Chains A and B, each alone.
Chain A
């Protein structure tokens, strides 16, 4: 009886990995980021006044943990593990965080590859300004300043000081703002910022119009304001080199139910929109920030000689080879094939010897075939894909290239035939001569 039982056990052990694979395929696909968000507020009332925005996050499967920014039990990590995957910092006026969190903790959180949405308003504290500065965004230093625009303001019945901006200068990027165009202007009331020109990781998503300026609307202007015109950024995003994404908005109201639900009419325009562009804007940008869009992964990197399928350990100069890679984009629920026509491969040794755009089958597979250069050495297949709004792809594969072996050169060269015939005819003559010389009488 013992033997069959053992056999069954062995069979079960052998099948276990297969079953595990099947189970993994059945489960929902794993995204690039976790779904735990910490929402820091300086007033719990923001939870209800901005509930539509939080609701849209929760509807997309995020697990929101609302905390007061000065909660003494606040902590971002425990036992070396981060407790959250993202941060929503809606606490513009908080002078310092509670618990073990401070400016450095927030920056380390981002350095560890986590994402953040930061919203400030005219009450922005030094702490919030400091975090923004570290993210490459400098808020107007005048604490009383707001963005004022006397030409491109939103017409309302209750407000006449033109600080409610109807912003429509959006970045042209489908990956950040979604493929559907935001038709209605985005309402904004808050402080402006400038992006550091030397920082090429920061992008202006919503810029002010040329007639805007950042100043205190209640006092007379004695000196020119430090921020004017389209240099003012209203909302900016930053994608760090580790693909951590940060959105900085100078307006907390931008995310509020009031702005999300209200209509908008831009001054001087007859057209009135039933809904401001805010809802679409905050939904789409938050999708981007929390890696529900624009996150790429590359799998199945393969290369082989033309006509073969096995990956060789080495190529010879002048070989024809094929290289292929599959690239997928995370859509929030699943990995979808990434379709583009500008993925490039480099065949690289100190500098690229070959740099070519790969062709795609529109289903995520990118491939290229080319001839190995007639230079031998240790080469790399290198894909460096950096596109606006997408996470960077950078992967290399090392491959040596050898010269011809001694017997791989050409043997029968027509122009050498006179030499060959000369030597062979003299050999033949020698053979005949040996008879004649020895046996002639």
Chain B
């Protein structure tokens, strides 16, 4: 971790804080936000359970520390769950018994003494046999929890257990998990210390003070490996980050805090740990803010509860309810000094010893004592008499405990630096805008502007003229104010934008745009430009973005090699969406005469045929020449029926047949016709020859 980036807490802190030399922290004591976060993270599942034993304990313990009463309703279920585990002879794992006993302890469940006797015997058996740190931890912890519930538990061979656990310690204050493992860990150190503290309180006789002294020494060594950020936050983390076994700084630090504070409670005498490291640990846990996971939440809240009341040093947190002070509403500088759980601190004085400007320049180093408001437990000071103008400042506070004996109990961290913002309303006046000619420099059309409300000036200029804009900004104390953001934006109709920083001098802000030098930058785009002035600063309460009006600019034609304006982003919605529908235009059918006309002409075409028939009648047609002999008569009939068949074929061709079938039938009929036609015609010609010769 050391070489990597800071933890999230510090990361956020770093982001929040400006780059002042002493980086301020966003450390605030535990608040209601934590309670609602905890209630959310440990929300019981549908059947009212919190999950496995460990998680149930974490939930119950977190609610107990935070005093969340509404979860008392869930206790019956959790008690039953724990009692089942304790009573069941099969769940002999020390871990389960440990968690179950602690759940009962935290909730005050009533468990039969007989059940506890059995559990105590089992746990004692585990202690005898094991050489694993975790087993020691679970069984000692389980016994201690049962003892705290009023059951009489005595560890007779406390001395040897103490030695067995101590045997796993390493020279650098860290511990191994068991005698076989070579790896040592900081997390294990915390567990070991807690187990040792448990052994000491369970012992029937006092444990050898020299051994306790050795462990105290170990603790000091452990604190030498503590890591820190440069804002006074301290935390523990494993030396070797193994991604699988790695527990993260929160769990590791929580383990150490539990172990050290438990040990400090049972050990006689004071541990030799600097108060600032304890304060730094408290700041680390508070700096997490609202934890994201149930595990982190439990570790954070439980560690803080150990720090809240411990025998090493009780950290006192100096925090500002607000870091932004408005001169307009005459805010008071308020400082809270509380313990991590927001309980009142012992009598103490808070002094404002120094005020540093944004460039670390000392503004004032007059020592001012803050008034104490007993009702709200807040130290306060009026800002107005400090004569501080708007801006960013670092305030240096000094906490001094009033009673000297508290010095060894509480850790205040001495000087605390906090970054604050003083904001106020900035007066904007003498605003003018106008166009001037290049040579004369005389303003031709000067217009006064009221920048407190929207204005709509309309100006027009050509490339030989200049645009002038000027205004003044003054702070509530009458100084010239130079905001961070003073932009004049010119926006062309085609969305091409040009931004100018309005330079500020000692008296006023003045911008002169000489269009002659800007034609290239403006891409020779003539037309309407909208003017917009943006003035803003962190210390300015009335930051504004105001449209000023528009400017008709007449620029020369672009030469050929002039740069083209950049492409503008198109609206993403225009790229999507349905396309216009396309329907096919079909070829129009050919024009036809009306039906009646066609039918009339059909009738007309029949007229010659009728005329032909009538003519034949008139002529008195006879068929006397038809052969009378049966043979030729048969051939003649066949010949004519053949012709009739061909004509009928033509009708059929029109009605339904296609060309190929028609030709096929016509072929057969043709051959037949040639044959019978030849016979018929030759007979007829022979008859007529006979007649002629006769």
A residues engaging B (CB < 8 A)? 42-52, 55, 66-68, 71, 93, 121-123, 148-151, 156-162, 171-172, 189, 195, 197-198, 200, 203-204, 210-211, 213, 215, 217-218, 220-225, 228-229, 231, 253, 256-258, 261-262, 318, 342, 344, 346-347, 352-357, 370-371, 373-375, 386-388, 406-407, 411, 413-436, 438-441
Tell me whether A427 and B647 are in contact in the complex, defined as CB-CB below 8 angstroms, given that A161-B421, A342-B578, A413-B592 are known contacts: yes
Bound CA–CA A171/B576 (angstroms): 14
Tell me whether A158 and B16 are in contact in the complex, defined as CB-CB below 8 angstroms, given that A150-B537, A432-B613 are known contacts: yes
Tell me whether A421 and B578 are in contact in the complex, defined as CB-CB below 8 angstroms, given that A197-B566, A413-B592, A440-B623 are known contacts: no
Chain B contacts of A356 at CB under 8 A?
A: 581-583
Chain B contacts of A424 at CB under 8 A?
A: 650-651
Tell me if B16 and A159 are in contact (CB < 8 A). yes
Taking the nearest CB of chain B, how far is it from the CB of A270, in angstroms? Answer: 15
B residues engaging A (CB < 8 A)? 1, 4-9, 11-12, 15-16, 18-19, 26, 33, 37, 241, 243, 246, 248-250, 288-293, 296, 320-324, 392, 420-421, 423, 482-485, 487, 489, 497, 499-501, 532, 534, 536-540, 543-545, 566-570, 572-573, 575-584, 586-587, 592-593, 595, 597-599, 601-602, 604-606, 608-609, 612-613, 616, 621-626, 636, 640, 643-644, 647, 650-651, 654-655, 658, 680, 684
Bound CA–CA A423/B578 (angstroms): 58
Bound CA–CA A211/B546 (angstroms): 10
Tell me whether A354 and B543 are in contact in the complex, defined as CB-CB below 8 angstroms, given that A203-B572, A436-B616 are known contacts: no
Tell me if A151 and B613 are in contact (CB < 8 A). no
Bound CA–CA A222/B249 (angstroms): 42
Tell me if A417 and B484 are in contact (CB < 8 A). no
Bound CA–CA A396/B484 (angstroms): 57
Taking the nearest CB of chain B, how far is it from the CB of A384, in angstroms? Answer: 9
Tell me if B605 and A158 are in contact (CB < 8 A). no
Chain B contacts of A210 at CB under 8 A?
A: 532, 545
The tally of CB-CB contacts under 8 A between chains A and B is 281
Chain A contacts of B626 at CB under 8 A?
A: 439
Bound CA–CA A425/B537 (angstroms): 106
Chain A contacts of B608 at CB under 8 A?
A: 425, 429
14 contacts between A and B (CB under 8 A): A48-B250, A49-B9, A50-B8, A55-B292, A66-B243, A148-B485, A157-B321, A162-B538, A218-B18, A342-B577, A353-B584, A374-B587, A388-B576, A440-B623
Tell me whether A161 and B18 are in contact in the complex, defined as CB-CB below 8 angstroms, given that A257-B292, A261-B290, A356-B583 are known contacts: yes
Taking the nearest CB of chain B, how far is it from the CB of A234, in angstroms? Answer: 15
Task: Using A43-B6, A417-B602, A434-B640 as known contacts, list a sample of 14 further A-B pairs with CB atoms less than 8 Å apart, ordered by residue number in A.
Answer: A45-B1, A45-B7, A48-B8, A68-B243, A148-B485, A150-B540, A172-B573, A210-B532, A210-B545, A354-B582, A356-B583, A414-B595, A418-B598, A431-B647
Chain B contacts of A55 at CB under 8 A?
A: 292-293
Question: Which of A44, A122, A203, A353 has its CB near the most chain B CB atoms (within 10 A)?
Answer: A44
Tell me whether A417 and B598 are in contact in the complex, defined as CB-CB below 8 angstroms, given that A213-B487, A229-B489 are known contacts: yes
Tell me if B322 and A157 are in contact (CB < 8 A). yes
Tell me if B609 and A49 are in contact (CB < 8 A). no
Tell me whether A221 and B484 are in contact in the complex, defined as CB-CB below 8 angstroms, given that A257-B290, A421-B602 are known contacts: yes
Which partner residue on chain A sits nearest B611 by CB separation?
A429
Tell me if B291 and A48 are in contact (CB < 8 A). yes
Chain A contacts of B613 at CB under 8 A?
A: 432
Taking the nearest CB of chain A, how far is it from the CB of B375, in angstroms? Answer: 21
Which partner residue on chain B sits nearest A267 by CB separation?
B543
Chain B contacts of A371 at CB under 8 A?
A: 584, 586
Tell me if A431 and B598 are in contact (CB < 8 A). no
Which partner residue on chain B sits nearest A344 by CB separation?
B578
Chain A contacts of B241 at CB under 8 A?
A: 44
Bound CA–CA A123/B423 (angstroms): 28
Which partner residue on chain B sits nearest A262 by CB separation?
B290
Tell me whether A441 and B609 are in contact in the complex, defined as CB-CB below 8 angstroms, given that A213-B485, A218-B19, A417-B602 are known contacts: no
Tell me if B605 and A425 are in contact (CB < 8 A). yes
Partner of A387, one of B248, B322, B576, B612: B576
Chain B contacts of A217 at CB under 8 A?
A: 18, 484, 538
Tell me if A48 and B248 are in contact (CB < 8 A). yes
Taking the nearest CB of chain B, how far is it from the CB of A269, in angstroms? Answer: 14
Tell me if A318 and B592 are in contact (CB < 8 A). no
Which partner residue on chain B sits nearest A225 by CB separation?
B499
Which partner residue on chain B sits nearest A258 by CB separation?
B289
Tell me if B545 and A160 are in contact (CB < 8 A). no
Bound CA–CA A436/B613 (angstroms): 11
Taking the nearest CB of chain A, how far is it from the CB of B457, in angstroms? Answer: 20
Bound CA–CA A100/B561 (angstroms): 48
Taking the nearest CB of chain B, how far is it from the CB of A250, in angstroms? Answer: 13
Tell me whether A43 and B4 are in contact in the complex, defined as CB-CB below 8 angstroms, given that A160-B324, A414-B598 are known contacts: yes
Taking the nearest CB of chain B, how far is it from the CB of A64, in angstroms? Answer: 13
Partner of B15, one of A189, A197, A213, A420: A189
Chain B contacts of A438 at CB under 8 A?
A: 625, 636, 680, 684
Chain A contacts of B291 at CB under 8 A?
A: 48, 257
Tell me if A221 and B609 are in contact (CB < 8 A). no
Chain A contacts of B622 at CB under 8 A?
A: 439-441
Chain B contacts of A43 at CB under 8 A?
A: 1, 4-8, 11
Chain B contacts of A414 at CB under 8 A?
A: 592, 595, 598-599
Bound CA–CA A86/B578 (angstroms): 31
Tell me if A440 and B609 are in contact (CB < 8 A). no
Tell me if B296 and A48 are in contact (CB < 8 A). yes
Tell me if A352 and B243 are in contact (CB < 8 A). no
Which partner residue on chain A sits nearest B295 by CB separation?
A48
Chain B contacts of A440 at CB under 8 A?
A: 621-625
Chain A contacts of B540 at CB under 8 A?
A: 150
Tell me whether A215 and B650 are in contact in the complex, defined as CB-CB below 8 angstroms, given that A48-B8, A387-B576 are known contacts: no
Tell me if B582 and A211 are in contact (CB < 8 A). no
Which partner residue on chain A sits nearest B536 by CB separation?
A150
Bound CA–CA A112/B658 (angstroms): 61
Tell me whether A407 and B7 are in contact in the complex, defined as CB-CB below 8 angstroms, given that A48-B248, A189-B15, A431-B643 are known contacts: no
Tell me if A425 and B640 are in contact (CB < 8 A). no
Tell me if A211 and B290 are in contact (CB < 8 A). no
Tell me whether A151 and B543 are in contact in the complex, defined as CB-CB below 8 angstroms, given that A258-B289, A374-B587, A436-B621 are known contacts: yes
Chain B contacts of A354 at CB under 8 A?
A: 582-584
Taking the nearest CB of chain B, how far is it from the CB of A412, in angstroms? Answer: 9
Chain A contacts of B578 at CB under 8 A?
A: 342, 344, 357
Bound CA–CA A162/B421 (angstroms): 11
Chain A contacts of B6 at CB under 8 A?
A: 43, 45
Bound CA–CA A42/B3 (angstroms): 11
Tell me if A386 and B576 are in contact (CB < 8 A). yes
Tell me if A434 and B643 are in contact (CB < 8 A). yes
Taking the nearest CB of chain A, how far is it from the CB of B64, in angstroms? Answer: 22
Bound CA–CA A417/B596 (angstroms): 11
Taking the nearest CB of chain B, how far is it from the CB of A38, in angstroms? Answer: 13
Chain A contacts of B543 at CB under 8 A?
A: 150-151, 211
Taking the nearest CB of chain B, how far is it from the CB of A142, in angstroms? Answer: 14
Taking the nearest CB of chain B, how far is it from the CB of A189, in angstroms? Answer: 6
Bound CA–CA A211/B485 (angstroms): 9
Which partner residue on chain A sits nearest B543 by CB separation?
A150
Taking the nearest CB of chain B, how far is it from the CB of A183, in angstroms? Answer: 20
Tell me if B567 and A344 are in contact (CB < 8 A). no
Tell me if A223 and B501 are in contact (CB < 8 A). yes
Tell me if A418 and B605 are in contact (CB < 8 A). yes
Bound CA–CA A431/B537 (angstroms): 113
Taking the nearest CB of chain A, how far is it from the CB of B244, in angstroms? Answer: 11
Tell me whether A224 and B500 are in contact in the complex, defined as CB-CB below 8 angstroms, given that A48-B292, A151-B545, A373-B586 are known contacts: yes
Chain B contacts of A229 at CB under 8 A?
A: 489, 497
Chain B contacts of A386 at CB under 8 A?
A: 575-576
Bound CA–CA A67/B243 (angstroms): 8
Bound CA–CA A433/B575 (angstroms): 79
Tell me if B324 and A157 are in contact (CB < 8 A). yes
Chain A contacts of B539 at CB under 8 A?
A: 160
Chain A contacts of B485 at CB under 8 A?
A: 148, 150, 213, 215, 221
Bound CA–CA A215/B5 (angstroms): 24
